[in-house]
Amino acid sequence: MLIIPAIDILGGKVVRLRQGDYSAKTVYSADPIKLARQFEAQGADRLHIVDLDGARTGRPLNQALILRIREAVSIPIEVGGGIRDVKTAQTYLKAGIDRIILGTAAIPLIKKLGAARVIAGLDLHGTKVATQGWTKTTRNYLDYARELKRLGVTEVICTDIARDGMLGKPNLKPILKLKKLGFQVIASGGVSDTESLRQLQAAGIRGAIIGKALYEKKLSLALALAAVRPPSGLAKRIIPCLDIKNGRVVKGVGFKNLRDAGDPVALGRYYSEQGADELVFLDITATVEKRRTLVELVRRIAREINIPFCVGGGIQSIADIKALLEAGADKISLGTAAVKNPGLVTRAARRFGSQCIVISIDAKRAKNQWLLTIRGGRELTELDAIEFAGDMERRGAGELLVNSLDRDGTKKGYDLELLRAISSRVRIPVIASSGAGKMKDFLEALTLGRADAALAASLFHYGKVKIPTLKRYLARNQIGIRPCVSSSRRRGSGDDLDFQKLGGLIPVIIQNAQTQQTLMLGFMNREAYEKTRQTGFVWFYSRTRQRLWKKGEESGNALKVLKILPDCDRDTLLIKAIPTGPTCHTGEPSCFGDEGDALTELFEVIRERKKTLPKNSYTASLFRAGLPHISAKVLEESVEVIHAAKKETKQRVIEEAADLLYHLLVLLAEKNLTLKNVRMELQKRSVKM
């Protein structure tokens, strides 16, 4: 449903009348253009502008001002008041006004102009239509509506004058009757709370015009938009950020004047228990001081939490990314390295998957654009942040972390304009960062800013906002959010695991952390579990030998633990591990044998990505870019295979050949071809060889 702020102009100023009484007006702004820009910045779907002087006199006295508003904003505008001849109507339409609202002169003008860009205004005194600035009444509104319908009018604005400006409830009876006649109905008059908006939406109403409720701050535009937004199916996320310096969590303003905010391990555990959806750990001085992120600290934090975890700061290479993911991070964040070496993003997305690659965009306002900064905000570049975001999506990034240096640490709210600009530019998820000072800021970031997640630091670190309280607030305002499950459970503590269901044992599924392949099933007792935690390698309890045994103690093919995840009933474990060799005694990588033709399975995944185009998929980004881009990637990979064959190791040849095969499969899918087509051609050729 459309949310449409009203701008009623009288004597060049923004006013609201009460029940159409010109003597009972309240002036809210002397600058209609500035107000229109504010509504656009806040996410309004369109603007409803009425020339009240024109409505009363029959002449468009504020037309020049309204056309300046048209030049100042880009969202759709509908205009009414004083449009009673063809010349006035055409002046508005030729100047880019999207729809004109016709009241008194509707029928004769529609006969001359057609109904395509006309909205009929039905202003009601009871069951009668009011005209000439609501000063006179004429015929029954339903009879009038039927005549409009015969002329081809499809959209009407229904205003109950008795409800207008009274901050009450809309009159649903005439609205629903007009809808029953087949009109798209926009409700006006008495729309002043979220309950009314939801009621209108449930009735299938096209939109709602909101005036006095906005100006009197009874209802914010953010709440109105949130009340009617369609459920996306994807929960919004709340993400605490741990900025790290010298092994401690710090916080400052604009990345400067840093002060201590606590121990990262303890805070990570606390946020995990409080119901945070994810955690971000940024070593904010690593790039400047030429240090790599402290992998051991990442490993320690990962042992304590049971939520996804992102790591950034000082990451320069594929080897750095691999080390962090193996230490337990679910995602990595690239900032300066992505700017200096954008090819790293492409290679990382191919190697580890787009879902692992987050790009940190540190932006600073510079006149009419945002410029990128690097090295922890200390160096301003000439790169446009919005264009950079689009480039990162094309290169395979799965998510963008958007930091505003102008808002960082200020608690003045997120930079909604920046968030909206980037969210409109890309299809991958956007995380809002920098500036949160109160719970309403999160709501606005997730609605007006169109962000998929909201991140904050000091607000959480110093207890100004509690995550469970914030999530309840967002849920009350119709934001799809994962509920908090308050718990003292933490990864690494086996006290609450249920070892009793199987006589002191618990089943353990082992998964390859790099390929996600299921490797084996084993059993642990409490002692084996503790041994696994302490050593970082998988230990089992052998039911045949009646003793503990370390996986690989004879073959040398051990399993290095990355993560230990209990299921919801706490009676089964999933361990993500790095195998040092074949897991099965037969020499196969998995005890479950060959999981199928890898090339065929990969091709099926690629075809599914083409069908669904998920937001954070590198493959989907290729399909969105189209055949020319895919073809260029195949050529690029062919060159890299040749280069690797001439000058690099066999392993590099394997890796580059895999990249080439992958992009060839994407090309086949783009052309609606299959592997079967290729195999049949190869079979034909094999006969001739």
Q: Which of 243, 277, 283, 415 is catalytic?
A: 243
Burial of 64 (0-12, 13-18, 19+ CB in 10 A): exposed
Spatial distance between the Cα atoms of 346 and 354, rounded to a whole number of angstroms: 9
Report residue 72: phi and psi, to 5°: -85, -20
Beta 248-253 vs 99-102: how paired, if at all? unpaired
Query: Rounded to whole angstroms, how far apart are CA atoms 538 and 284?
Result: 34
Q: How far apart are CA 41 and CA 46, in angstroms?
A: 11
Distance, CA of 60 to CA of 50 (rounded, Å): 10
Report the alpha-carbon distance of residue 20 to residue 14 in Å, rounded.
15
Structure tokens at 103: 């009241």
d(CA 533, CA 514): 20
Q: Is 228 helix (H, G, I), strand (E, B) or coil?
A: helix
3-state secondary structure of 540: strand
Report which residue type is found at 322: K
CA atoms 282, 286, 287, 291: torsion sign: negative
Structural tokens at position 436: 């949160």
Strand-pair category, 559-566 with 248-253:
unpaired
CB-based contact 331:401 (threshold 8 Å): no
597 catalytically annotated: no
Q: Are 224 and 210 in contact (CB under 8 A)?
A: yes
| Beta-carbon contacts of residue 633 (< 8 Å; ≥ 6 apart) | 622, 663, 666
DSSP state at residue 35 = H
Q: Residue 678 in 3-state DSSP?
A: helix
594 has catalytic annotation = no
H or E stretch at 301: helix 295-304
Calpha distance 5→46 (Å, rounded): 7
- Max Cα-Cα span within the chain: 99
Give residue 584's region: left, alpha or beta (phi > 0; psi -120 to 50).
Answer: beta
| Whether 448 contacts 420, CB under 8 Å | yes
Placement of tokens 């600035």 in the chain: 133
Tokens coding 202:
């449930």
Positive or negative, the CA dihedral 142, 148, 150, 153 is: negative
Task: For 219-255, list the strands marked E by DSSP.
Answer: 237-245, 248-253
Closest CA to 78 of 141, 4, 135: 4
The catalytic residue among 277, 283, 320, 362 is 362
Rounded Cα distance, 451 and 418, in Å? 10
Cα-based distances in Å from 582 to 121, 132, 413, 450, 554: 75, 85, 52, 46, 13
Active site positions, annotated: 243, 362
